[in-house]
Amino acid sequence: MAHLDKHRILSDQQHGFRRRRSTESQLILTLHDLASGLDEGEEIDAILFGFSKAFNKVPHERLAFKLHYYGIRGNLLQWIRSFLANRCQQVLAEGNSSDPSPVISDVP
């Protein structure tokens, strides 16, 4: 994160996964902006998107490419690639398990 902060890669509005910022701090700022707008008599329009399970859609190779693009290289990038490589998952229910299935996207 220090590299991303130092090179100002992340937007100031990015709250999740950052020190002293969270999805809760983002919600507080959003509510403050809405309340201020209402107090000032401004028109407020809102569009809401649901990003549940957004990380389930991150292909590991695309993640590695973007990390390299933003300057994460060498041993750290190799460690991340190694961490994500050859992962599998399976379901266990009532003593029965499915066959292992490869995981090619998601952030563990």
Q: Pairing between strand 88-89 and 101-102? A: antiparallel
Shared domain check, 91 and 42: no
Shared domain check, 62 and 42: no
Q: What's residue 21's pLDDT? A: 83
Shared domain check, 105 and 61: yes
Centre a 10 Å sphere on the Cβ of residue 65 and count the other Cβ atoms it contains.
11
Q: What's residue 56's pLDDT? A: 63
Which residue has 């701090």 as its token pair? 25
Determine the Cα–Cα distance for residues 18 and 15; give it in Å rounded to an integer: 6
Determine the Cα–Cα distance for residues 64 and 70; give it in Å rounded to an integer: 10
Determine the Cα–Cα distance for residues 65 and 61; give it in Å rounded to an integer: 6
Number of domains in the chain: 2
Listed as ranges, residues in the chain with pLDDT below 50 are none
Is 98 a member of any domain? yes
Shared domain check, 27 and 60: no
